[in-house]
């Protein structure tokens, strides 16, 4: 699942691929804690202060990409 997070005063959005489903991500986003915490597909944790989040876009499940298309 691809998650895009817009952060206030940041020129680019954060893009995170996670194994969580859309409902689980929505629950995490609306959880109300001081930080939004997500774990990506490689096991890295991303923490974003919730008071700095401009928007969160929850995408469709990401297809695995292998190799190059030419």
Q: What is the pLDDT of residues 13-69, one digit of tens each?
A: 999 999 999 999 999 999 888 999 999 999 999 999 999 999 999 987 655 556 665
Q: What is the pLDDT of residues 43-56, one digit of tens each?
A: 999 999 999 999 99
- pTM for the full model? 0.80
Q: Where are the domains of the chain?
A: 2-58
Q: Could you tell me where the beta strands, DSSP code E, fall in 2-52?
A: 2-7, 14-17, 35-39, 45-49
Alpha helices in 1-70 (DSSP H): 22-29
């Amino acid at each position: 699942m691809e998650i895009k997070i817009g952060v206030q005063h940041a020129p680019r959005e954060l893009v995170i691929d996670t194994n969580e489903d859309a409902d689980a991500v929505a629950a995490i986003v609306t959880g109300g804690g001081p930080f939004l915490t997500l774990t990506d597909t490689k096991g890295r944790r991303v923490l974003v202060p919730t008071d700095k989040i401009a928007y969160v876009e929850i995408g469709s499940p990401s297809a695995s990409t292998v190799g190059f298309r030419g």
